[in-house]
Copies of this chain bind each other. A is one copy, B any other.
């Protein structure tokens, strides 16, 4: 039982919300997403990100298209489906309830 493990456990379930939020604001490819998360001091690893994007795509929350890049391999740009937008709103509510609950409990 150590802090790194707990950090990892705390991240579970939260990354879906973060990723959908980023893509909701505009089409993005994985490196964009990593960058935006890093800017918010959130760390996500490729081994997490790619399977998660795949799961979201398979669940019809996201669609993607291939875009040739200037100098390098093609990139997969993701965007939100209507189903994804609905799910995002549920996630937003879920997060807010959880965060409020925790803060209520721990800040007294």
Contacts and interface: CB of A to CB of B under 8 A. Distances in A.
B6 A94 contact: yes
A73 to B, nearest CB: 27
A1 B6 CA distance: 23
- Copies held by the complex: 2
Interface residues of A, number: 44
Contact of A56 (B1, B10, B13): B1
Nearest to A105: B40
A42 to B, nearest CB: 4
Interface in A45-75: 55-56, 59, 61
Given A10-B14, A41-B101, 19 more contacts: A1-B56, A1-B59, A1-B87, A7-B13, A7-B94, A8-B13, A9-B13, A10-B13, A11-B13, A11-B98, A18-B102, A37-B105, A40-B104, A40-B105, A41-B97, A42-B101, A42-B105, A95-B102, A99-B99
